[in-house]
Structure 1
Amino acid sequence: MICRIWHGRTHASQADAYAAFLQQRAVADYRSVPGNLQVQILRREDGEVTHFLTITHWESEAAIRAFAGEQLLQAKYYDEDRDFLLEFEPLVQHYSMV
């Protein structure tokens, strides 16, 4: 199993709206891909900024490719992310389950 971890930051004032967007759009997208085993979204307040981690569990690299394309470590963004995110981190991290 492979864990794919993405990090993003919003203004704290937009955190609730972004969390709702992630639940409605991103989680549904992840879950629609065969081979996606689990989706977790973590949130941490840090003053005027809120951090989000999306942790997805996949059965294989082939399943991740079906979601993200051939560049496995490239972050995938949605058009709506421009309304929320403070920057666009280009890469995600992959970890193997032990």
Structure 2
Amino acid sequence: MADTPTIARIWRGRTLPEKADAYEAYNYEVGIKPLIEKALGVQTFREDTPTHSEFVTISYWESVEAMGRFTGGGPTEVHHLDRDAEFLVELPKSVQVLRLLTSHGNTG
């Protein structure tokens, strides 16, 4: 297995502000921890606004094939967590998959 990421998989989801802290904890335990074990790297982001909180997860993979082994389906297929419908304003229909061209500086 190569250890150089060539693919970034970007997932986005929004919650209501009053559910954001609970979703952040749930998402980390149920969604992010298993992802950390499989991906080359994982970054999580949160933006709070008066009307919603948006979560973004970027995972890095050595290939589309490796990412597909994790997702068990197509590269843009979403793995909804069991309680996502309870927390998220709407269930994401896809993820964004980008080729990683260059990386500079310390992003870790």
Given candidates 61, 67, 72, the residue that maps to 2:70 is 67
Q: Which amino acid aligns with 1:24?
A: E
Distance in 2 (alpha carbons) for counterparts of 1:90 and 1:82: 12
How far apart in 2 are the matches of 1:51 and 1:31?
20
8 A Cα contact 1:39 1:57, kept in partner: yes
Is 2:49 the partner of 1:20? no
Q: TM-score, normalised by structure 2?
A: 0.83
Tell me the alpha carbon deviations over residues 49-73 of structure 1, each in whole angstroms, 9 at most, x when there is no partner. Answer: 1001110001111211111122111
Map of 1:1-98 to 2, 5 A cutoff? 1-33=6-38, 36-98=39-101
Q: Give the TM-score of the pair, scaled to structure 1.
A: 0.91
Q: Percent identity?
A: 33
Gaps of 5+ in 1: none
Residue ranges of structure 2 left out of the alignment (5+ in a row): 1-5, 102-108
Q: How many residues align?
A: 96
Q: Which has the higher Rg, Structure 1 or Structure 2?
A: 2
Q: Return the offset for 1:22.
A: 1.6
Q: Which amino acid in structure 2 is aligned with residue 72 of structure 1? A: P
- Greater fraction strand: 1
Name the Cα RMSD after superposition.
1.1
Q: SS state of the match for residue 21, structure 1?
A: helix
Opposite residue 65 of structure 1, the aligned amino acid is G
